[in-house]
Structure 1
Amino acid sequence: MNSKPRSPRRKIRTGFALGLSIALLSLLCCTGGTAAFFLTSLGTTRQSPTAADMSCEEDHQVKLSGTIPRLGRYGQTQMRNAAVIIKVGQDMKVPPRGWVIAVATAMQESALRNLSNSTVAGSRGIPNEGVGSDHDSLGLFQQRAGWGSVTQRMSPDYAARKFYEKLVKIDGWERMPLTRAAQKVQISAYPDAYAKHEDVASQIVNALAGGAARTVQIAEQAVCDRAAARTIAASGWTAPIDGGVGSGFRTASRPRHNGVDIGARKRTEIHAAATGRVLVARCDPDHSGNRSCDVDGFPGKGGCGWFVDILHAGGFVTRYCHMIEKPRVAPGQLVKAGEVIGLVGSSGNSSGPHLHFEVHIDSNRSFSGGINPVPFMRQRGAPLNGSA
């Protein structure tokens, strides 16, 4: 293999929140009224959920014949290339998490197009779907000469197989952040470029392989919608704690309730819902401006108590409120999906021990950025046990 660092053709302009200049603004969480907070230069790419995002089938076998669905800006040719990548992974018995990593990598390297270069194009008669610009790199994964001959690298089947062969040799790859696993295979000059494609790559895998990105590996079987705590779905997401949803999202009785409440005993471990960068980990002041988070709160007190906000690839932000003590993470820290970030408590605006959990889109931590966490987590194979 050629281990020389190389530049992905679709160079990252903004990255996954690794060099962000962040201005942290104060907020009030459980009663609504959060202050506005926006992150620029994240390079988010989100698509509307497809029907496959909402279902998870027993048979996840991708079909290469017949009509291949489009998804967002990815047309049938690109989606067919994604289907080949997934099919090769299936044939090699690579778990669905590997399919998501491989598809996301090819999205970054070639936008899922089988790219040639100026030397090969027109002189060797090898079919291609465009001309790249990165040295001698070729194909879906922009593999250089050490990966094989020109003809081999221009074969989507061969290119995908070589990617998987290297991926599965990486110790612990299934639990790594996607961008780290991809980087260990690709050895790119832009190691954080792959992260931003994870969510759409999961949607592509779901659309082509019966919701496979919503599965977890249990007894070497892909099982739908069971990701919780340290069990991570192929999408890269997990439910932060086990437990049923009590108070729901923006209900008639609580229209400013910008998340859901999940009941749990005090000191239950809270897990990061996905890999991300910690934005905030502190005590939220109550309505009187006091920072009294080391005692149980009460209804009407105001504030999240001890809480954490995490920024994830795709511009998603998750929030975890009412911890019993200072969080176990710090601002700027990179946390993995499933990592323990704190313990359930009842600090702040709380009537009893529970986790208040929020999801925000477009890197917007304000009330307007909040979405219902229940369907969001279900679409990622990490359902919150209950309904709202």
Structure 2
Amino acid sequence: MTAGPAVAGQVRRKLRLGVIATAVTSVLALLCCVGGAGAFLLTELGGDEDDPKLAALTCDPAYQVNLTGDMPRFAEYGERQLRNAAVIIKVGQDMKVPARGWVIALATAMQESALRNLANSTVPASLALPHEGVGADHDSLGLFQQRPGWGTVEQRMTPSYTARKFYQKMVQVPNWQQRPLTVVAQRVQVSAYPDAYAKHEELAGRIVDALAGGAARTVEIAGKAVCDAAAGDRIAASGWTAPLPGGVVSGFRTTARPSHHGVDLAASKGTPIHAASAGRVLVARCDPDRSGRKDCDRDGWPNKGGCGWFVDILHAGGFITRYCHMVERPRVVPGQSVAAGEVIGLSGSSGNSSGPHLHFEVHKNGDRSSNGADNPVPFMRKRGAPLGETG
């Protein structure tokens, strides 16, 4: 994907407690839709970047989606399809649905219609409804391929109507923001292919970023995150959250620790550890030390080896997260499905550890080995759930 056009506009944000922001005045912020490249920057803001008033900014999207302006460029979709995506996002904004819902709705429409307003043989020629193709299902219509029970033919061929109907049913799904996208979409759609939605999640997040000012990511000022979408156990629009509040105290594959395939997050003993995203538990056990001894029910020490009590979770897109050095047996078991933000254990110092903390890893392509390890800091920042700066 290539970056969308820069959008200049007046940025007005609210303070977290509902007070209208007065700290940011005469601001013309440049919002650069960088899609998969990560957060958008607010570099024109005056004042000290450490000003507590700035830290109180909410994570609301920077601006309402524009239905008539130029569309960003995506290799996967054309202009007409992106305008349909903009309609879906706009309806979600008007209904005050959290941005996570926009990602779910987009991914669903991407699977059902490839973001095309599909007609079929049941559409009377007299209606002359605009459409962008003919669907394969004889009685399903529109962006979400809704069947007759969802409304009349004319209604189901109206993108704003179909998006509203989708959101109305989606928000009734219990804990929809924490659950896997594919589970929520399936509860709404009742599709014959319930696992197909997940493959669209990453691109749907990038489209939301490009069309709604980085709503699926993190806001930064002068390179520092001032709007952590995962703060306070919240789930970012991307579906990810920080595993615990502590910042990074030891980085990924540093000069001093080239074989450190994750990052260490500051945490006192007994701090709840949250699943960084919804997924399925692959491993939850005691990792033996270098001698093969399993002794995780006491504090470890440097050079002992092993993760101690640890958990591996498989997420959509083939990503795997690892959580090491828990103080006691994990609260989950292999094969268990977990929601984003669900407590999976407590931080500790078991295994190769000199003190309480969480060792956190991210792996790509379903590869649990060191070959699949990726730096968690930029990975999580791109998903609106930054881990903090390396100390």
2:281 maps to amino acid: V
Deviation larger for 96-105 or 72-81:
72-81
- Residue matched to 2:160: 157
Aligned to 1:319: 322
Q: 1:370 aligns with which of 367, 373, 384?
A: 373
- Whether the aligned pair in 1 keeps the contact of 2:230 and 2:241 (CA below 8 Å) is yes
1:146 aligns with 2:143: no
Distance 2:228 2:188 in 1: 28
Deviations 1:84-142, CA, capped at 9 Å, x for gaps: 10011112222212211111111121121222225549896433222221231111100
Question: Retained in 1: the 8 A contact 2:312–2:322?
Answer: yes
Output the amino acid matched with 1:240.
P
In structure 2, which of residues 269, 273, 276 is the aligned counterpart of residue 273 of structure 1?
A: 276
User: Residue 5 of structure 2 corresponds to which residue in structure 1?
Assistant: none
**Aligned CA distance change for structure 1 residues 317 and 123 (closer, same or farther; 3 Å):** farther
How has the CA–CA distance of structure 1 residues 171 and 317 changed in structure 2, closer, same or farther, with 3 Å as cutoff? Answer: closer
Instruction: Indicate whether 1:59 and 2:62 are aligned.
Output: yes
- Cα distance in 1 between the residues matched to 2:322 and 2:192: 32
Q: Secondary structure at the match of 1:283?
A: strand
- From 332, 343, 347, the counterpart of 2:346: 343
Distance (whole Å) between structure 2 residues aligned to residue 164 and residue 140 of structure 1:
13
Question: Which structure 1 segments of 5+ residues have no match?
Answer: 1-48, 217-222
1:93 aligns to 2:103 (yes or no): no
The correspondence of residues 3-22 of structure 1 with structure 2, limited to 5 A, is: none
Aligned counterpart, 2:364: 361
AA aligned opposite 2:116: R
Counterpart in 1 of 2:16?
Answer: none
Q: Aligned pair count?
A: 334
Q: Contact between 2:218 and 2:382, CA under 8 Å: does it hold in 1?
A: no
Q: Which of 256, 261, 286 pairs up with 1:258?
A: 261
Report the CA distance between 1:158 and its aligned residue.
1.6
Alignment partner for residue 74 of structure 2, among 62, 71, 85?
Answer: 71
Deviations 1:271-297 (A, max 9, x none): 100100000111112222221211211
Aligned counterpart, 2:249: 246
Give 1:190 shift: 3.0
d(CA) in 1 for partners of 2:111, 2:239: 17
Correspondence for 1:237 among 222, 226, 240? 240
Query: Structure 1, residues 2-39: CA drift from partner, whole Å, max 9, x if none?
Result: xxxxxxxxxxxxxxxxxxxxxxxxxxxxxxxxxxxxxx
Identity %: 70
Q: TM-score, normalised by structure 1?
A: 0.80
Write the distance in 2 (CA, Å) between the matches of 1:56 and 1:203. 16
In 1: Cα distance, 2:191 partner to 2:340 partner: 23
> What's 1:294 paired with?
297
Aligned partners of 1:268 and 1:333: how far apart in 2?
A: 22
Q: Using structure 2 for the length normalisation, give the TM-score.
A: 0.80
Is residue 298–residue 351 contact of structure 1 (8 Å, CA) maintained in 2? yes
Structure 1 residue matching 2:390: 3-state secondary structure: coil
Partner amino acid, structure 1, of 2:244: I
**1:282 matched to 2:267:** no
Distance, in Å, in 1 between the alignment partners of 2:335 and 2:173 is 26
Cα 1:72–1:309 change in 2 (3 A) is farther
**Within 5 Å, which residues of 2 pair with 1:120-139?**
120=123, 125-139=128-142
Report the secondary structure of 2:311's partner residue: strand
> How far, CA to CA, are the matches of 2:304 and 2:177 in structure 1?
42
Which residue is 1:212 aligned to? Answer: 215
The one-letter code of the counterpart of 1:208 is: L
What is the CA-CA distance between 1:66 and the residue it aligns to?
2.5
Name which structure has the greater RCO, CA cutoff 8 Å, separation 6+: 1
CA distance in 2: counterparts of 1:377 and 1:60, whole angstroms? 23
Q: Compared with structure 1, are the counterparts of its residues 137 and 156 closer, same or farther at alpha carbon in structure 2 (3 Å cutoff)?
A: same
Mapped contact 2:36–2:382 kept (Cα < 8 A): no
CA contact (8 A) 1:56 1:211 kept: no
Look up the match of 1:227: 230
Query: Is the 8 Å Cα contact of residues 64 and 80 (structure 1) preserved in structure 2?
Result: yes
